[in-house]
């Protein structure tokens, strides 16, 4: 990134828009189009008024590195978007900060060690097999299935089983319905600068509270079932319930437990499921890539079910997942509040303003990604990865607040892909991919209807 006059950094250029809404109408109309156009027109650092918030879109990997790693303390989650997410998930690992965050991160980290995750591989495969048995039984091969719903149900079941020893698959419809409503309302509120908590008894707010109550009922059922058995299952829930504060000796109360459980349930299934939905869609549009993936799965497995040992050998499958998350990063936007004046790429980033970093844009930055719109898993050979700027690709974020579930998610995605590919081919029901719908994650708009064909 070309550094400008270091002694007197200037304000970043950007689209002009009138307060109080600033660029919000454009964001509301087409969020991805807005960030794409802003990057194209103004470059690596652009600024705009996002409603009442003065924000900067930082697109160069050097800037991403500065925010997420090098000067991470200067860029906090005291951003209105996290404030709003807190209305749903409270103060769990994703939204907490400072000492509370550090204590919780250390507490839950052991649940995500590679060995622990490896031990979950058989369960991940068994749950995928159960989904395929259901497809076999239904024999509805000429009717499209909503693959995004199938992946959501599967990933929710896996995360519930893995972390809480709980079978939440039966409540998958409730969780999806409630979370979809909250997700859509939250984004609409943000994009219309309706930033007040949903307190007044309006129809919309009542829908909000009902959805939240439904989600809570699932979460509190998980907690109370464990309290009744009162045993140490060695999983994340037991770790949370048995933990004692080093100074006071106090255990987490129900509210704190609820916040951690709901955070893991939501962060741990929607992201992976969305990534997998895009993988299936892209494979259908790129038969030559699909053929290579099927050939790898057949060669590595030789007809048997995959195990954790196969994961490193399924290297092309992993490259397909990486390339999919380049074009469709489930978490497409991260925002931070600026604590003290800083400078990025030669531009002034004043204290109290915000920065937006957008994997969707940086993952298409033409300096690092030739022909950026082309789907090409070859970009992720070890040689190509080693040659590239480390922060040109960050679907799991980076630095201390990087996704705690990244190893879990990658193992899960590889195992699910291989288990399905062993038995089925999936074909898009329409000639094109659905457009991306940028809610909290980047979902396929209207879902991903696909025909499933036994091999």
Minimum CB–partner distance for residue 275 and ligand HEM (Å): 4
Residue number, 121 or 263, with CB nearest to ligand HEM: 263
Position of minimal CB gap to ligand HEM: 405
Residue 344: phi, psi to the nearest 5? -130, 125
By the 10 Å C-beta count (0-12 exposed, 13-18 middle, 19+ buried), 134 is classed as exposed
Least distance to ligand HEM, CB of residue 399, Å: 9
Environment class of 207 (CB within 10 Å of its CB; exposed 0-12, middle 13-18, buried 19+): middle
Task: Kindly give the interhelix angle for 80-89 and 254-267, rounded to the nearest 10 degrees.
Answer: 110
Applying CB under 6 A, the span of 30-38, 128-136, 329-337, 422-430 interacting with ligand HEM comes to 329-337
Which listed residue (22, 61, 165, 330) binds ligand HEM by CB under 6 A?
A: 330
Contact between 268 and ligand HEM per CB under 6 A: yes
Please tell me the count of residues contacting ligand HEM according to CB under 6 A: 23
Burial letters 298-330, b for 16+ CB under 10 A, else e: eebbeeebbebebbebbebbbbbbbbbbbbbbb
Q: Across the strands, what pairs with 425?
A: 453
Distances (CA, A) of 220 to 46, 54, 269: 44, 39, 18
In this structure, what token pair is assigned to residue 388?
């590239």
Q: Does 417 bind ligand HEM (CB under 6 A)?
A: no
Among 395, 434, 436, 449, binds ligand HEM (CB under 6 A): 395
- CA proximity to 359, closest of 265, 271, 273, 284: 271
Q: State how far the Cα of 103 lies from the Cα of 369, in Å rounded to an integer.
A: 38
- For ligand HEM, the binding residue among 23, 262, 404, 417 (CB under 6 A) is 404
- Footprint of ligand HEM on 78-117 (CB under 6 A): 93-94, 105
Site string for ligand HEM, 161-200 (x = CB under 6 A): ----------------------------------------
Among 23-31, 56-64, 259-267, 300-308, the segment contacting ligand HEM (CB under 6 A): 259-267
Going residue by residue from 237 to 256, which x/- string records binding to ligand HEM, judged by CB under 6 A?
Answer: --------------------
In the numeric block, which tokens belong to residue 240?
Answer: 């949370």
Task: Return the DSSP state at 402.
Answer: S
Give the nearer residue to ligand HEM in terms of CB position, either 151 or 289: 151
According to DSSP, the β-strands at 10-11 and 347-349 are parallel
Residue from 74, 121, 183, 272 in contact with ligand HEM (CB under 6 A): 272
Nearer to ligand HEM, 377 or 405 (CB): 405
Binding to ligand HEM by CB under 6 A, coded x per residue (else -) over 117-156, reads: ----------------------------------------
Strand partners, 75: 338
Nearer to ligand HEM, 24 or 67 (CB): 67
Of 22, 51, 198, 405, the one binding ligand HEM (CB under 6 A) is 405
Between 24 and 440, whose beta carbon lies closer to ligand HEM? 440
Contact 256, 183 (CB under 8 A): no
Does 338 interact with ligand HEM (rule: CB under 6 A)? no
- Among the candidate windows 132-140, 346-354, 396-404, 429-437, which touches ligand HEM by CB under 6 A? 396-404
- Nearest-CA neighbor of 334 among 420, 261, 378, 396? 396
Name all contacts of 41-44 with Cβ < 8 Å and 24+ positions apart.
41/15, 42/12, 42/13, 42/14, 42/15, 43/13, 44/1, 44/345
State the residue for tokens 């839950």: 108
In the complex, what is the shortest distance from the CB of residue 287 to ligand HEM, in angstroms, rounded to a whole number?
A: 24
> Smallest gap, in angstroms, from Cβ of residue 137 to ligand HEM?
28
Q: Which residues of the chain form contacts with ligand HEM (CB under 6 A)?
A: 93-94, 105, 159, 263-264, 267-268, 271-272, 275, 330-331, 334, 395-397, 401, 403-405, 408-409
């Amino acid at each position: 990134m070309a550094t400008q006059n270091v002694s007197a950094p200037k304000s970043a250029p950007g689209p002009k828009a009138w307060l109080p809404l600033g660029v919000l109408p454009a964001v509301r109309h087409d969020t991805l189009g807005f960030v794409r156009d802003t990057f194209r027109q103004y470059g690596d650092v652009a600024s705009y008024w996002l409603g009442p918030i003065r924000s900067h879109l930082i697109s160069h990997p050097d800037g991403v590195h500065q925010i997420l790693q090098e000067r991470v303390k200067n860029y906090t989650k005291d951003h209105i978007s996290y404030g709003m997410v807190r209305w749903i998930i409270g103060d769990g690992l994703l939204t907490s900060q400072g000492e509370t965050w550090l204590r919780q991160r250390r507490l839950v980290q052991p649940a995500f060690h590679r060995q622990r995750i490896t031990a979950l591989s058989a369960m991940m495969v068994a749950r995928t097999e159960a989904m395929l048995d259901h497809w076999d039984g239904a024999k509805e091969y000429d009717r499209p299935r909503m693959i995004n719903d199938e992946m959501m149900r599967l990933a929710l079941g896996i995360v519930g089983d893995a972390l809480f020893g709980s079978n939440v698959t039966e409540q998958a419809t409730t969780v999806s319905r409630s979370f979809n409503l909250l997700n859509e309302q939250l984004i609409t509120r943000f994009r219309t600068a309706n930033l007040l908590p949903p307190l007044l008894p309006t129809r919309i707010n009542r829908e909000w509270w009902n959805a939240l109550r439904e989600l809570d009922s699932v979460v509190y059922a998980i907690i109370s079932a464990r309290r009744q058995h009162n045993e140490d299952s060695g999983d994340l829930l037991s770790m949370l319930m048995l933990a004692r504060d080093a100074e006071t000796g106090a255990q987490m109360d129900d509210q704190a437990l609820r916040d951690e459980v709901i955070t893991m349930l939501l962060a741990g299934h929607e992201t992976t499921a969305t990534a997998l939905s895009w993988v299936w869609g892209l494979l259908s549009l790129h038969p030559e890539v699909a053929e290579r993936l099927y050939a790898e799965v057949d060669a590595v497995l030789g007809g048997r079910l995959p195990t954790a040992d196969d994961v490193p050998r399924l290297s092309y499958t992993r490259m397909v997942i990486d390339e999919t998350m380049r074009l469709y990063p489930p978490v497409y936007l991260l925002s931070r509040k600026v604590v003290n004046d800083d400078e990025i790429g030669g531009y002034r980033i004043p204290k109290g303003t915000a920065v937006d970093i957008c994997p969707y844009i940086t993952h298409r930055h033409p300096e690092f990604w030739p022909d950026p719109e082309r789907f090409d898993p070859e970009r992720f050979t070890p040689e190509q990865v080693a040659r590239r700027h480390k922060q040109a690709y960050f679907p799991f974020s980076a630095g201390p607040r990087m996704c705690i579930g990244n190893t879990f998610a990658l193992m899960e995605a590889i195992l699910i892909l291989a288990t399905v590919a062993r038995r089925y081919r999936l074909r898009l029901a329409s000639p094109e991919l659905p457009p991306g719908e940028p809610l909290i994650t980047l979902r396929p708009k209207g879902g991903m209807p696909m025909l499933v064909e036994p091999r």
